[in-house]
Structure 1
Amino acid sequence: MTKIKSKSAPYYNIGQLRVDFWNKLKIETSELTRCRKGSTNEKTHKQKIKELLKDLKGVECFFASPGKERLRKLENAFASHEYASLSHAVLETTKQLFGDSYKSNPEFIDFDEHSIDAAEEHDQQNGVRKNHFEVLFMDNISEQEEHKLKHNLKALRTPNDKFTYGVVVQRSFQDALITLLFNHNIQAVVVRYAPSYLSKLSTPLIKPYIDELTEHDFSSKPETDLGPILGELIKQLRPELDTYYVTDTSLGHLKDNTIKGFRRIFYQTEDIQELHLTIMRGIEERYCTPFFSALVEYSQKPTGVFHAMPISRGNSVFKSRWIHDFGEFYGRNMFLAETSATTGGLDSLLQPTGPLKKAQEMARDAYGSQYTYFVTNGTSTANKIVMQALVKPQDVVLIDRDCHKSHHYGLVLAGAYPVYLDSYPIEEYSMYGAVPLAQITTKMLQLKEAGRLDNVKMLLLTNCTFDGLVYNVERVMEEVLAIKPDMIFLWDEAWFAFAGFAYNYKQRTGMFTAKKLYEKYNSEAYRKKYEEHIKGLKTGDRSELPDPDKVRIRVYATQSTHKTLSSFRQGSMVHIWDEDFRRKTENTFLEAYMTHTSTSPNYQMLASLDVGRRQVQLEGFELVEKSIELAMVLRAKVNDNPQLSKYFDVLTVHDFIPDKFRETGLKEYYTKREGWNRMDDAWQKDEFVLDPTKITLYIGKTGVDGDTFKNKYLMDKFNIQINKTSRNTVLFMTNIGTTRGSVTYLVNALLKISDELDDELKALNDKEMEIRDKRIYSLTQEVPPLPDFSYFHPSFQAVPGVPGGNLREAYFLAYDEENYEYIPLNECLATMGEGRKLVASTFVIPYPPGFPVLVPGQVVSEEIINFMTALDVSEIHGYRADLGLRVFKETVLNRHKIITSIGGMSKGKQKKQLI
């Protein structure tokens, strides 16, 4: 196994470095104003300021604001010994940079004239709150020409413009790429003719953060090709951006890929006003929210309500003497937007033709799918829709046993036969990992040998898992398609909706991979590779590559938009990249959609999905990166703080993923000695990676179990809410709504908890200390077993001896209360020891973790009973402690087995057997 040395850096990303250096400069310039002239202190501070200004100049050159012009003013003030003015300028710039004001009107703030407070007052008085963005120009022009370009573009602005923008000019291909990586405010890129290639701005300070870009070498390409190449790279790095090409190449000599690769192509001689208007129009189109805007417009119309819903317009609420407080809590707009009408500018979710249809099409473009559907009943319903649309009774589905329970219920509804796949166990922390690819291919080959591969319809995996494990989606799909080229993939991305807006993350999403593989398999280069591969095979060898003549790319992803992006609760989406959708699946999908979707969907939820799409298209790249950064900061804080690390550990990649699944050898994202390990190589190559926004805190050393820690400490004392615990861990998650203040509050809470644990420890007598030590030993050493899926009882096997079970039949057999009985949990092992096979008649789902340890028709194993006995969670769905485990009666199983076996006989044999 090749070990790839991870790249380390003192800061997680350039944003963290930028914040720290500006704050350092603020401190140093402030101290300088208090120094005695000619003192040693003054010399020390001046030297530090000089170095910081130089370093920041090498960073701000990639930003329009504050940018290199602001740095030049600061350098002039420093050189002129205007230290008070310099300190004030740095203070205002820092406040501007890390507040929100510069995003509305950054150019108004000039430290020679105004303060940040004055800028905000100016906005309020003039009713101005314009969103600000930046435009990247790649053009090898002089400084004088750059100033002229900025001046001319600024002169084209009008008071009626909804947006303002700043301009960043880069004179080389590499510097343009660095700007795209660093600068989240870039919303449009203008590529001008014939740029140079090598960076003119790169410094040692930024080198650790640009390695992933500089590894790609296009220096041998003609300069005339660099513009179109940059356009292609933008589609991979930041596909949400508008790209424009300015050239003097005649239309007859422009390649088709170049014409199609840019939103619009301009010629050098054209008026710059057209470029300006096109840039503004591009932002306006992404800013548009068809359904939300229609809902706002509807809410402002005077109407007479003679349809259902008394709550519409708030009439039944605000005139009530008893529930008016309900209206006051939510506000009038909530009720003004309530209606049961689908006309008057609104739309029907079940058969959209207007703003809802447009909103879903815009979501499609944002998420990189071919089709996107809004779901208002959560991803539980989205999963059932996709399952019912794609599989029919007796189809075989390869499914992660640890997936969300909605998938298992979807199998029952569809009547498909599940072949359960087991994730590798992480027993020390009482949780499961993910399904190894080797297990998937082994099951498929077993089914192929049994002649059942044609019955296999779908592979269903959770990506990413609740605990943050992410599959190598491309590798999984390629190896599976090599065995079964028409396999349908359902990626449950309930916790991964944000992933499409960060470069590393999106490469492990269903939609990005589907498009990538479709283009790959339809290329001449792949066909040639495949033909050479086939020629090299020996007789009987299995091809490791999919056949380009047979392979079909059929990928579905369900996403809980509300879990990781801006949407009201239950707002979800189904994304589809299926080259056979229109021909094979559209009708059944729409039927399933009709089956599970309410005819009275929540309009506020639909509007939130529409607005959430706008947000991720315009600032998703920035917000996702910040959520990752904050997660990394939290990890570092716990690891570096002696008081916190006394009781808590943040689990690392090494803790979650066995070595054999990490070919790059990356073990952890951060160490106190080496700093940040860059995770780019791991996300490209390892079979599994860990999403850093899922922070699992190991609390075994506290002697407190996860459920108690959540309730007694986090919730009761600090009102800190979390979703998941295990026996000895608690899971924290950062998202696009997480702030630096909330992370600081969490660290504050953990410090107070650790101090409290110190105080409790000091007060313990010998006997209490012994009890505490036993609790710690139990949580850290006495690890409960994590059982795999056992097997379906022969009565419920789809085909005897072959993976696959008749879940639906077992589920409905239990509708008759005469068919099952209860056995107390503490008697199960003894009953099994007497030779009886216990078969579950219902789903048994401990929460957490929230997936079935038993499904209807499954044989109960000794490991499962031991696991349930050791559980210390308060909820086990499908199990009643007062009654015991619900299992099928032996007589029912025997009778059902006979009926099942008879069903497989010829009619003559059936008659004889029954007689």
Structure 2
Amino acid sequence: MPQPSSGPRLGTAPLADAVLAVARRDIASFHALPLSHGGSLRTSPFREVYESLFGTAQLAADVSYSGTMLDSFFRPRGPLREAQRLAAQSFGADATLFLSAGTTTANRVALGALVAPGSRVLTDRSCHQSVHFALGDMGARVDYAPMRRCCSDCPRAFADLQKLTDMFREAVAEGRPYDTVVLSAVSYDGVRYDLPRLLPRLAVLHPEVSVLVDEAWGAGHRFHPRLRELSTLHTLETLRTAGKPVPARVAVTHSAHKSMSALRQGSYLHLAGDSELPERATQALFRHHTTSPSWPVLASLDLARLQGETEGEALLERSLRLARTLRSEIETDTRLSAYRTLGSEGHLTDPDLLVTDDPTRVLVDIGELGITAADFRRVLFDEYGLYVARESGDAVVFHIHIGVDEGTLLRLLDALRTLQRTYRSTSAALAEGASDHFIIAYPPGIPIAVPGEQLCDRTRGQLDALRTSGCEIYTLHEPRSTAPREPDRSRSEGSQLATAAKGTE
């Protein structure tokens, strides 16, 4: 990979170097038709569309070479092998495999290496569907640990790890221990498992246990000292150094693109423990993975690891700071009073739960706006260019990943303030039983209520039905109102957040 003309050396990304070198050559293929250099599109009227979607670099890098020409995917001996070695070293694994078919496949490969047909498996019920389906296909005897909620005020749910431990202990006492335990240790909603406490408990009870930890949402955590502490591989390193018991075999899956600068479907499979585990994983990889891997996706895993090593801590520190800022603004800005943070940082303080918060996630209740979470997400996307994927009841999850900067957070805060002005008065009017605004549904644009009108249950039902049918609900002051218009941004833009945003321009 080319180095900058000055400044410190950034390190190496051997697989990215190799793919880039091949992409730069004018190679004609008599094998499969890759998009390499767009050979099939040179005179096509569709070439411009391809280039607009994928770029000329992607057309050049999407190659179909293997073996000695680039490297063997299933038995690497060249740059892929070196890239995987560097990744294992960086993450703290004994061995690491790159996959270009997503963590759905990585979970299947990991289970194929860990679980023998008919063996007993204790599974975290909150695991990804790929785990449940794979175990069913393998004929494993599966028991599920029950779920529990954070609290009545917070919709987050996770495995009851105390009950999981009790089930594991009882199985050992009965002489039929579980061979494998599957954990989903970093949840979509912002819950992390206390693996430094959980893993030794399992190892003491049954030293030969295998453990699969799905850390799909936590790949980047490795590169920040605060987030690293609960990660699986750091936990194993720490326990080994202290001479404490660890499970005999551990596999960790990382959906890299969720928290690192990797292409979608790029996944790491990390292995630790049994010296035969890497070979079993390679065999499972051959059974489950496509034989036509995407070399750009694999190269992006190499680059993502390198960025994590060189910039990860600083980028994640920014994420933690911006997440704190979002929580603080919601809790203190009166123009954001319709919103309420749930499960805020430090909320999960009961040590018996064996879980803690992911501080890069901010769970926000939007119920007082008077619109559904689905409508809220749609308005953010359509009108403000902001995407939120997760909703739970009246709550949505904001993931403050390393791609969110100060300017992006300012855009979100401005949007939240505008939405509060637009929608909250309707909700307040419904709660108070009278309206001092026009409440108008569009279509058709006819007022449902006018200023001074009492709102009855029939009106509320009508509004609910209109919302469900897809209508937009607007509240407006009377035209003669002289109420000053509230500005989009407060004077707090002189704050550190705005100053930092200006510094990035």
Aligned to 2:351: 661
Map Cα deviations across residues 15-67 of structure 1 (whole Å, 9 max, x no partner): xxxxxxxxxxxxxxxxxxxxxxxxxxxxxxxxxxxxxxxxxxxxxxxxxxxxx
1:298 to 2:9 alignment:
no
Map Cα deviations across residues 877-904 of structure 1 (whole Å, 9 max, x no partner): xxxxxxxxxxxxxxxxxxxxxxxxxxxx
CA contact (8 A) 2:345 2:357 kept: no
Deviation of 1:353 after TM superposition, in Å, equals 0.7
1:557 aligned partner, one-letter code: V
1:483 to 2:205 alignment:
yes
SS class of match (1:433): strand
Question: Measured at CA, do residues 393 and 494 of structure 1 come closer, stay the same or move farther in structure 2, by a change above 3 Å?
Answer: same
**Which of 411, 414, 422 is equivalent to 1:748?**
414
Q: How many Å separate the matches in 2 of 1:605 and 1:407?
A: 23
Q: How many Å separate the matches in 1 of 2:286 and 2:347?
A: 40
Question: Measured at CA, do residues 343 and 555 of structure 1 come closer, stay the same or move farther in structure 2, by a change above 3 Å?
Answer: closer
CA contact (8 A) 1:651 1:698 kept: yes
Aligned to 2:252: 557
Aligned to 1:391: 115
1:470 to 2:188 alignment:
no
Question: Measured at CA, do residues 720 and 364 of structure 1 come closer, stay the same or move farther in structure 2, by a change above 3 Å?
Answer: same
Aligned to 1:636: 328
Structure 1 unmatched runs, 5+ = 1-128, 132-161, 166-282, 527-545, 663-685, 778-871, 873-915
Q: How many Å separate the matches in 2 of 1:774 and 1:462?
A: 41
SS class of match (1:495): helix
Aligned counterparts, 1:100-249, within 5 A: 162-164=5-7
Deviation of 1:698 after TM superposition, in Å, equals 0.6
CA contact (8 A) 1:130 1:164 kept: no
**Which of 131, 134, 146 is equivalent to 1:410?**
134
Map Cα deviations across residues 499-531 of structure 1 (whole Å, 9 max, x no partner): 11111211101111112212222xxxx7xxxxx
CA contact (8 A) 1:430 1:726 kept: no
Q: How many Å separate the matches in 2 of 1:648 and 1:338?
A: 45
Q: How many Å separate the matches in 2 of 1:746 and 1:295?
A: 38
Alpha-carbon RMSD across the aligned residues, in angstroms, is: 2.7
Aligned to 1:438: 162
Question: Measured at CA, do residues 720 and 654 of structure 1 come closer, stay the same or move farther in structure 2, by a change above 3 Å?
Answer: closer
**Which of 193, 213, 223 is equivalent to 1:501?**
223
**Which of 373, 385, 409 is equivalent to 1:706?**
373
Deviation of 1:655 after TM superposition, in Å, equals 9.2
Aligned to 1:519: 241
Q: How many Å separate the matches in 2 of 1:328 and 1:612?
A: 24
CA contact (8 A) 2:71 2:77 kept: yes
Question: Measured at CA, do residues 774 and 507 of structure 1 come closer, stay the same or move farther in structure 2, by a change above 3 Å?
Answer: farther
2:31 aligned partner, one-letter code: H
CA contact (8 A) 1:702 1:776 kept: no
Deviation of 1:325 after TM superposition, in Å, equals 2.1
1:581 to 2:256 alignment:
no
Deviation of 1:333 after TM superposition, in Å, equals 2.0
Q: How many Å separate the matches in 2 of 1:396 and 1:385?
A: 18
SS class of match (2:397): strand
2:278 aligned partner, one-letter code: E
Q: How many Å separate the matches in 1 of 2:218 and 2:287?
A: 26
Question: Measured at CA, do residues 448 and 331 of structure 1 come closer, stay the same or move farther in structure 2, by a change above 3 Å?
Answer: closer
Question: Measured at CA, do residues 767 and 487 of structure 1 come closer, stay the same or move farther in structure 2, by a change above 3 Å?
Answer: farther
Deviation of 1:441 after TM superposition, in Å, equals 2.0
SS class of match (2:217): coil
SS class of match (2:96): strand
Deviation of 1:130 after TM superposition, in Å, equals 7.6
Deviation of 1:739 after TM superposition, in Å, equals 1.1
2:409 aligned partner, one-letter code: V
Aligned to 2:501: none
Q: How many Å separate the matches in 2 of 1:415 and 1:349?
A: 28
Q: How many Å separate the matches in 1 of 2:155 and 2:390?
A: 11
Deviation of 1:344 after TM superposition, in Å, equals 6.1
CA contact (8 A) 1:311 1:338 kept: yes
Deviation of 1:322 after TM superposition, in Å, equals 3.6
CA contact (8 A) 1:291 1:610 kept: yes
Structure 2 unmatched runs, 5+ = 430-436, 440-448, 469-505
Question: Measured at CA, do residues 601 and 767 of structure 1 come closer, stay the same or move farther in structure 2, by a change above 3 Å?
Answer: farther
Question: Larger RCO: Structure 1 or Structure 2 (Cα < 8 Å, ≥ 6 residues apart)?
Answer: 2
SS class of match (1:434): strand
Aligned to 1:572: 267
Q: How many Å separate the matches in 1 of 2:67 and 2:14?
A: 14
Aligned counterparts, 1:595-614, within 5 A: 595-614=287-306
Q: How many Å separate the matches in 1 of 2:72 and 2:332?
A: 54
SS class of match (2:350): helix
Question: Measured at CA, do residues 510 and 614 of structure 1 come closer, stay the same or move farther in structure 2, by a change above 3 Å?
Answer: same
CA contact (8 A) 1:518 1:553 kept: no
Aligned to 1:171: none
Question: Measured at CA, do residues 388 and 738 of structure 1 come closer, stay the same or move farther in structure 2, by a change above 3 Å?
Answer: same
Question: Measured at CA, do residues 690 and 310 of structure 1 come closer, stay the same or move farther in structure 2, by a change above 3 Å?
Answer: closer
**Which of 354, 357, 367 is equivalent to 1:687?**
354
Question: Measured at CA, do residues 759 and 297 of structure 1 come closer, stay the same or move farther in structure 2, by a change above 3 Å?
Answer: same
CA contact (8 A) 1:313 1:336 kept: yes
1:652 aligned partner, one-letter code: G
**Which of 352, 373, 376 is equivalent to 2:97?**
373
Question: Measured at CA, do residues 369 and 642 of structure 1 come closer, stay the same or move farther in structure 2, by a change above 3 Å?
Answer: same
**Which of 330, 336, 340 is equivalent to 1:649?**
340
Deviation of 1:491 after TM superposition, in Å, equals 1.2
Length-normalised TM-score, structure 2: 0.82
Q: How many Å separate the matches in 2 of 1:307 and 1:432?
A: 50
Aligned to 2:148: 424
Deviation of 1:554 after TM superposition, in Å, equals 2.3
Map Cα deviations across residues 302-321 of structure 1 (whole Å, 9 max, x no partner): 22221111533211123212
SS class of match (1:623): helix
Deviation of 1:431 after TM superposition, in Å, equals 3.4
CA contact (8 A) 1:703 1:772 kept: no
Map Cα deviations across residues 665-695 of structure 1 (whole Å, 9 max, x no partner): xxxxxxxxxxxxxxxxxxxxx8321112111
1:457 to 2:179 alignment:
yes
Once the two structures are overlaid, the 10-residue window that deviates more, 763-772 or 337-346, is: 763-772
Question: Measured at CA, do residues 714 and 427 of structure 1 come closer, stay the same or move farther in structure 2, by a change above 3 Å?
Answer: farther
Question: Measured at CA, do residues 753 and 436 of structure 1 come closer, stay the same or move farther in structure 2, by a change above 3 Å?
Answer: same
Once the two structures are overlaid, the 10-residue window that deviates more, 418-427 or 748-757, is: 418-427
Aligned to 2:482: none
CA contact (8 A) 2:64 2:292 kept: yes
Aligned counterparts, 1:714-863, within 5 A: 714-760=380-426, 761=429, 762-764=437-439, 765=449, 768=455, 770=457
Q: How many Å separate the matches in 1 of 2:101 and 2:457?
A: 50
Map Cα deviations across residues 54-103 of structure 1 (whole Å, 9 max, x no partner): xxxxxxxxxxxxxxxxxxxxxxxxxxxxxxxxxxxxxxxxxxxxxxxxxx
Length-normalised TM-score, structure 1: 0.46
CA contact (8 A) 1:394 1:415 kept: yes
Q: How many Å separate the matches in 2 of 1:296 and 1:769?
A: 67
Q: How many Å separate the matches in 1 of 2:191 and 2:46?
A: 49
Deviation of 1:429 after TM superposition, in Å, equals 5.9
CA contact (8 A) 2:345 2:358 kept: no
Question: Measured at CA, do residues 776 and 438 of structure 1 come closer, stay the same or move farther in structure 2, by a change above 3 Å?
Answer: farther
Q: How many Å separate the matches in 1 of 2:78 and 2:257?
A: 24
- Identity across matched positions, percent: 28
SS class of match (1:513): helix
CA contact (8 A) 1:317 1:324 kept: no
1:295 aligned partner, one-letter code: V
CA contact (8 A) 1:698 1:730 kept: yes
Aligned to 1:339: 63
Q: How many Å separate the matches in 2 of 1:655 and 1:622?
A: 22
| Larger gyration radius, structure 1 or structure 2 | 1
1:293 aligned partner, one-letter code: D
Map Cα deviations across residues 182-222 of structure 1 (whole Å, 9 max, x no partner): xxxxxxxxxxxxxxxxxxxxxxxxxxxxxxxxxxxxxxxxx
1:648 aligned partner, one-letter code: Y
